[in-house]
Amino acid sequence: MNQNNVFRLTRLRLAGLYAGTMGVILILWGVVFDKAMTHSHWSELNHRLESVAGTLHDGLEVSLRQPGTLEPIMQQFLPTLCIAGTDCANQPPPNLHQLGVFQEDGYYIRFLDLSGRLLASAGNLPTDFPTDFPTELSNPIEAEPWQTLEASDGTRYRQISLRLKTADQVPWGYMQVGRSLQDLEGHLLRVRVVLLVGLPTAMVLVITTGWWLAGQAMQPVYNSYRQMQQFTADAAHELRTPLAAIQATLESTLTTTPASLDATEAWDTLRTLERQNSRLSELVQDLLFLSRMDLQDLPPKQQPCCLNDLVQDLVEEFAALAIAAKVDLKAIQSPIPLVVFGNEEQLYRMVTNLMTNAIQYTREGGQVTIGLQPDDHHAILRVQDTGIGISLQDQSRIFDRFYRVSSDRSRQTGGAGLGLAIAKSIAHGHHGTITVQSELGKGSIFTVRLPLPLVEGIGRVSY
């Protein structure tokens, strides 16, 4: 296939279209996957921060008395709480059962008064973290409770700010709960690196697969193209033979002067021309018949055909040919009539081709038997001979067009190698099959299976 420029370029285009389409799909999938992963992680982080902040908010508000004043209950809730302006470096660690979310890596909490001044904090909070919010804005925290902040070292933090009130519903100040985004962003970065490395690798696999799939998809087309090329070459060869014979006969006749050309020579010339013309006509008719059979799914003129009558008629017609070839021809009929639906002319031609081959390739004194019998839902027609047989390697090709086991023998009998191809086409056109069993020197058996008609409520029947 790759030796043909048209097929190679077509295969390349198909592989390119496949790779391009899959590339776009993979890129879109990667973008959507990245967006989904980012959204999922951010949603999970926000939900957890909101849950922790809400729990602390509800637990602390009932204990608050004075606005901006830290109550002792806060130290019980948050053992690691550090008052602003005090040195908490030597603060003793809390008991294990008091450890909470703010002892986890990256979490922190801050308490601010109504002016935004830091009162106390707990957790993993950098020393240079901004402690105030712009007081010139009207209720900035309430307007935007969610914030993403960045420390001087480049680490980003996500935090939520909630207003705290005393037990008397007097504004107390603000509580901010946050977490470092370092782990989250590091995880997302690793995912993106995997995507960036994985997508080119996947594209290499896609291109390789696309090239292979394009080859697989085009192989039947290429096989048909090769068969068409071979068919054209064989047809040209078969047409050239009678045309060359006609040309040679005409040239030989034309080189003879009219005075020296007697009636016998003229008659022989005409007979030669007539014979070669018949050969050409038969070849063209066979090619047209095969072409029509290729274009139609069902044979035309569907009607009941009695195979018993058809076989009997053909045995009688071929009796003279069998006697001339000194071959014993006999028929073994089914005890019941076997009727199939189909084209009687085509079925007649199929059996004719099988019987002609059997007689022509059977030696003198041999035997050709035509058998007909029912088998479950099919009618079985067998043409058996005691001829020269067919080798195993030839059996797989004898139904190919223009294929002949013995070219010399076929040319002597006038065959073009289309008889079995026509028989196979007719059998398939009637939803049947044709097979061969043969052994060199012992003969061949051609078996045709044709479906019997289906009668509603009874099944397939023979008449």
Q: ∠ CA(378), CA(430), CA(283), 5° rounding? A: 130
Return all residues near 461 (Cβ < 8 A) that are at least 6 apart. 452, 453, 455
Does residue 166 sit in the same domain as residue 18? yes
Q: What confidence category does residue 367 fall into, taking pLDDT thresholds of 50, 70 and 90?
A: very high
Q: Which CATH number characterizes residue 368's domain?
A: 3.30.565.10
Does residue 9 sit in the same domain as residue 158? yes
Arithmetic mean of pLDDT, 367-372 = 93
Instruction: Please state, for a pLDDT cut of 90, what percent of the chain lies above it.
Output: 17
Q: ∠ CA(136), CA(120), CA(138), 5° rounding? A: 15
Residue 260 lies in a domain: no
Give per-residue pLDDT as tens, 70-86.
888 787 778 788 888 78
- Give the torsion sign (CA, 282, 285, 289, 295): positive
Q: Which CATH number characterizes residue 36's domain?
A: 3.30.450
Q: How many domains does the chain have?
A: 2
pLDDT for 73? 78
* Concatenated DSSP letters of 239-306: HHHHHHHHHHHHHHHHTS-TTT--HHHHHHHHHHHHHHHHHHHHHHHHHHHHHHHHH-SS-SS-EEEE
Does residue 306 sit in the same domain as residue 452? yes
With contact defined as beta carbons under 8 Å apart, do 124 and 106 qualify?
yes
Residue 198 lies in a domain: no
Model-wide pTM > 0.75: no
Residue 263 lies in a domain: no
Ramachandran sector of residue 154 (left: φ over 0; alpha: ψ -120 to 50; beta: rest): left
Arithmetic mean of pLDDT, 351-369 = 91
Does residue 450 sit in the same domain as residue 310? yes
Residue 270 lies in a domain: no
Q: Tokens representing 37?
A: 């992963």
Asked whether the predicted pLDDT for residue 369 surpasses 90, the reply is yes
Q: Which of 298, 287, 450, 435 is nearest to 376 (CA)?
A: 450
Q: What confidence category does residue 136 fall into, taking pLDDT thresholds of 50, 70 and 90?
A: very low
HSE-CB at 428 with a 13 A cutoff on CA atoms is 14
Distances (CA, A) of 8 to 15, 217, 218, 221: 10, 13, 10, 13
Residue 207 lies in a domain: no
Give per-residue pLDDT as tens, 91-133.
555 554 444 555 556 788 888 888 888 888 888 776 666 654 4
CA separation for the pair 172, 170 (Å, rounded): 6
CA separation for the pair 79, 60 (Å, rounded): 14
Residue 24 lies in a domain: yes
Where does 62-104 have alpha helices with state H? 72-77
Range of the domain at 348: 297-460
Q: What confidence category does residue 1 fall into, taking pLDDT thresholds of 50, 70 and 90?
A: low
Distances (CA, A) of 296 to 123, 158, 291, 428: 83, 73, 9, 11
* Domain boundary, last residue among 187, 204, 236: 187
416 vs 426: which has the higher pLDDT = 426
Residue 131 lies in a domain: yes
Asked whether the predicted pLDDT for residue 352 surpasses 50, the reply is yes
Q: Tokens representing 65?
A: 């008395």
Give per-residue pLDDT as tens, 184-210.
888 899 988 998 888 888 889 988 988
Does residue 152 sit in the same domain as residue 14? yes
pLDDT for 457? 40
* Domain boundary, last residue among 169, 187, 205: 187
* Domain boundary, last residue among 187, 221, 241: 187
Q: Tokens representing 36?
A: 């989904």
Distances (CA, A) of 157 to 15, 111, 147, 263, 318: 47, 16, 8, 117, 100
Does residue 304 sit in the same domain as residue 182? no
Give per-residue pLDDT as tens, 259-289.
666 777 778 778 878 877 877 777 777 777 7
Does residue 317 sit in the same domain as residue 446? yes
Residue 313 lies in a domain: yes
Q: What confidence category does residue 454 fall into, taking pLDDT thresholds of 50, 70 and 90?
A: low
Arithmetic mean of pLDDT, 329-353 = 89
CA separation for the pair 114, 163 (Å, rounded): 9
